Amino acid sequence: MKFLYFTDSHIRGTNPKSRTDSFFDTVMAKIREIKDISEREGVDYILHGGDLFDRPDVSISVINDMVPVLQSFTVPIYAISGNHDIYGHNPVTLPRTMMGLLDTLGIIHIINNERILLKKDDTTVQLSGSPYIYGLDREENRALYILKDRASEADFAIHLVHGFLMPDSTKAMFAHTTISDILETKADLTISGHLHDGFPLTEVEGKYFVNPGSIVRISNTLSELKRRPKVLLIDVVEDTCSIREYFLESARPGDDVLDRTEIEMHKFKRRELAEFKESIESTGKYDHINYLDVIVDIAKNEKLDKSIKDEALRRIAEVEERRSLQ
């Protein structure tokens, strides 16, 4: 049974400031190439790791152009939602998003918090997925990375998650989850998205973890300039699998599509921001900047009922959705 996995396509109609090409045309060319690869390799299923779109309410014109491309795929597309696919980082808003619409129309199949069995010949694969939720990489939400329920008839289990999964904490400067944190998972293969740089296939205690990285380059960092977008080809036979990276030929070199002027400006702005942050912190102690962090921490510190926190986050998502319609 063969799978093709890609993630963080961030489909949008506008151009990121760092890009010199037509971003929409480029990402659609990549998706067409992914379709061609899937047919050439005899893939049975397409998997997407979240952030299909760059925002939950992309324009109708974008949908009109991309839907025929997705409909041309000859195999099912299974996906989880990322933080950019929903309002207010809240997956309960999914039915009111463009990604939710594609699921309703049967163009893609969202498997958020679901477990399905796929069968071919003598192989049965369990596929499951955890979407992005706010605070996914906080310790109290770490269970979303961990597959606990595995069907007895499953020869192999694949779990998708849209979060900051990393091999270790060496380069981490943000909330994240390490592979060692989730080794109790019953998944044979855990595939993540969200972290655009990705990380190579890592085997620990007979379990595999990988993130091929985003198929697009939105930021103008030097690492993105050098990175080559790719997808994964996964071949499962009973309880074993082989995984191969496939670099996208339609992804032009970073020098061709990323503006070096913007890169240098980005470095300058980052330095200025760091100096500004340091000056603010020197005047007092500010533990909270993000209002979502404030809500989650208050709920935890005051030991408020989970329903109160969820209601607050729901209302924030509604406000964000209303603002997007103005």
Predicted confidence (pLDDT) per residue in 41-66, tens digit: 999 999 999 999 999 999 999 999 99
Q: How many CB atoms lie within 10 A of CB 49?
A: 26
- Pairwise pLDDT comparison (325 vs 104), residue with the higher score: 104
CB 182, CB 146: distance < 8 Å: yes
pLDDT of 321 higher than 60: yes
How far is Cα 159 from Cα 49, in angstroms, rounded to an integer?
10
**What would the mean pLDDT of 154-163 be, rounded to a whole number?**
98
pLDDT of 140 higher than 70: yes
Q: What is the mean pLDDT of the chain?
A: 88
**What would the mean pLDDT of 67-85 be, rounded to a whole number?**
97
Q: Which residues contact 324 (CB under 8 A, 6 or more apart)?
A: 55, 56, 57, 87
**What would the mean pLDDT of 95-100 be, rounded to a whole number?**
96
pLDDT band at residue 302 under the 50/70/90 scheme:
low
pLDDT of 213 higher than 90: yes
- Pairwise pLDDT comparison (143 vs 175), residue with the higher score: 143
Q: Which residues pair with 242 in a beta bridge?
A: 235
First to last CA, the chain: 46
pLDDT band at residue 285 under the 50/70/90 scheme:
very low
What is the pLDDT at residue 255? 87
Give, for 298, the enclosing helix (H) or strand (E). helix 291-301
Q: Which residues pair with 124 in a beta bridge?
A: 119
What is the pLDDT at residue 288? 43
Which of helix, strand or coil describes residue 284? coil
**What would the mean pLDDT of 200-214 be, rounded to a whole number?**
97
Here the tokens at position 265 are 């400006």
How far is Cα 299 from Cα 138, in angstroms, rounded to an integer?
14
Residue type, 289: I
Q: Which of 102, 52, 107 is nearest to 77 (CA)?
A: 107
pLDDT band at residue 209 under the 50/70/90 scheme:
very high
pLDDT of 290 higher than 80: no
User: How many Cα atoms occupy the beta-carbon half-sphere of 316 within 13 Å?
Assistant: 19
**Residue whose entry in the numeric block shows the structure tokens 């109790």:** 184
- Pairwise pLDDT comparison (209 vs 20), residue with the higher score: 209
**What would the mean pLDDT of 6-30 be, rounded to a whole number?**
94
Indicate the pTM of the whole model: 0.83
**What would the mean pLDDT of 268-273 be, rounded to a whole number?**
60
pLDDT of 315 higher than 90: no
Percent of the chain with pLDDT over 70: 82
**Residue whose entry in the numeric block shows the structure tokens 């404030």:** 294
What is the pLDDT at residue 127? 98
**What would the mean pLDDT of 190-195 be, rounded to a whole number?**
96
- Pairwise pLDDT comparison (52 vs 257), residue with the higher score: 52
**What would the mean pLDDT of 79-83 be, rounded to a whole number?**
97
What is the pLDDT at residue 192? 98
pLDDT band at residue 18 under the 50/70/90 scheme:
confident
CA angle 220, 223, 226 (to 5 degrees): 95
- pLDDT tens for 226-238 read 999 999 999 999 9
Here the tokens at position 135 are 């605070």
Question: Phi and psi of 40, rounded to 5°?
Answer: -65, -35
pLDDT of 5 higher than 90: yes
**CB-based burial label for 259 (10 Å; 0-12, 13-18, 19+):** middle
